[in-house]
């Protein structure tokens, strides 16, 4: 049963074996003590295919959620790295819009409440005023679709300078003024850019709907073991506590199908919970 007296702690799908069924993934997360799993829709053909799942394939996921009691309330939609909304190639940009529309429909079908967006105007091409303009128009259309489906979009603080801080995302929150467009900060990415964690989080007061927790180093945004990087988790969690943030905390990890993944994700949860407790948060 859902515990409403604490910040829920989730685990990223890529921390779990890729060959597992959804029931096996959710069961493993439950065994490790997690409250939920975040689904990944990345730029690979395998995961983009999920956007075209049949009714039967969607039902299999919903049945796994009901059977295990572990929800999938958030989706990490990073497929726009390959197909960005700001692309100057009309075919790529149309594919980006198709991905967004289908992701919103999939989220609605599976009970996913928040889609985390990747803030790339372009990624593999060079950014310019035109790509930013096209990105903004695409984002505006995406927010309209999300509002019609009653699904929230939340921009992640990225490993890409264009959206490299909460304050930069707030520009678009103020621009679009929609309850269906909010912020999904990544404590690691904020820190890797050299931003002051507490100050940057405070700039998003009232608009933060979920948190990614991972460790990083300056210029190194992935696969940094907890406790070996530059992120001051106690500072970040203390600031969130002062802001009375009660939303979910997602542990973002890539375990690459390691055999000891259960020990890794179990220890990561305990490590993060200790930092949260030191910061005064309820766990």
Give SS3 for 138.
Answer: helix
From the list 189, 196, 206, 195, the residue with the least C-alpha distance to 243 is 206
What percent of the chain has a predicted confidence (pLDDT) above 70? Answer: 100
pLDDT per position as a tens digit, 260-279: 999 999 999 999 999 999 99
Residue 5 has pLDDT above 90, yes or no: no
User: What pLDDT is recorded for position 3?
Assistant: 83
Point out which residues pair with 72 in neighbouring strands.
none
User: What pLDDT is recorded for position 283?
Assistant: 83
User: What pLDDT is recorded for position 126?
Assistant: 94
Q: Are strands 181-184 and 211-213 parallel, antiparallel or unpaired?
A: unpaired
Point out which residues pair with 208 in neighbouring strands.
183
Reported as half-sphere exposure (CB side, CA atoms, 13 A), residue 237 has a value of 23
DSSP 83: S
Residue 4 pLDDT grade (very low, low, confident, very high; cuts 50, 70, 90): confident
Q: How far apart are CA 44 and CA 281, in angstroms?
A: 37
> Given 3-state DSSP classes, what are the helix, strand and coil percentages for the chain, each rounded to the nearest 5?
45, 15, 35
pLDDT per position as a tens digit, 19-56: 999 999 999 999 999 999 999 999 999 999 999 999 99
Per-domain residue ranges for the chain?
A: 9-278
Residue 11 has pLDDT above 80, yes or no: yes
- CATH superfamily label, 9-278: Divalent-metal-dependent TIM barrel enzymes (3.20.20.150)
User: What pLDDT is recorded for position 282?
Assistant: 84
């Amino acid at each position: 049963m859902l515990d409403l007296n604490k910040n829920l702690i989730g685990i990223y799908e890529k921390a779990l074996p890729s060959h597992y069924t959804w029931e096996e993934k959710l069961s493993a997360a439950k065994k490790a003590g997690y409250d939920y799993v975040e689904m990944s829709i990345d730029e690979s053909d395998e995961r983009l295919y999920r956007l075209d799942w049949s009714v039967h394939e969607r039902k299999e996921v919903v049945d796994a959620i009901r059977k295990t009691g572990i929800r999938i309330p958030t989706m990490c939609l990073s497929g726009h790295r390959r197909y960005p909304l700001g692309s100057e190639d009309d075919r790529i940009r149309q594919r980006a819009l198709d991905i967004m529309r289908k992701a919103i429909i999939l989220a609605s079908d599976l009970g996913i409440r928040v889609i985390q967006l990747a803030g790339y105007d372009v990624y593999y091409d060079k950014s310019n005023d035109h790509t930013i303009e096209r990105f903004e128009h695409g984002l505006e259309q995406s927010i309209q679709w999300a509002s019609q489906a009653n699904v929230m979009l939340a921009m992640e603080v990225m490993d890409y300078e264009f959206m490299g801080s909460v304050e930069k995302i707030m520009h678009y929150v103020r621009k679009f003024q929609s309850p269906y467009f909010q912020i999904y900060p990544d404590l690691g990415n904020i820190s890797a850019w050299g931003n002051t964690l507490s100050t940057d989080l405070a700039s998003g007061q009232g608009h933060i709907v979920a948190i990614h927790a991972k460790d990083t180093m300056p210029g190194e945004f992935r696969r940094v073991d907890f406790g070996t990087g530059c992120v001051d988790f106690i500072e970040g969690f203390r600031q969130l506590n002062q802001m009375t943030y009660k939303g979910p905390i997602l542990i973002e990890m890539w375990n690459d199908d390691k055999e000891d993944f259960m020990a890794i994700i179990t220890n990561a949860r305990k490590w993060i919970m200790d930092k949260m407790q030191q910061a005064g948060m309820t766990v």
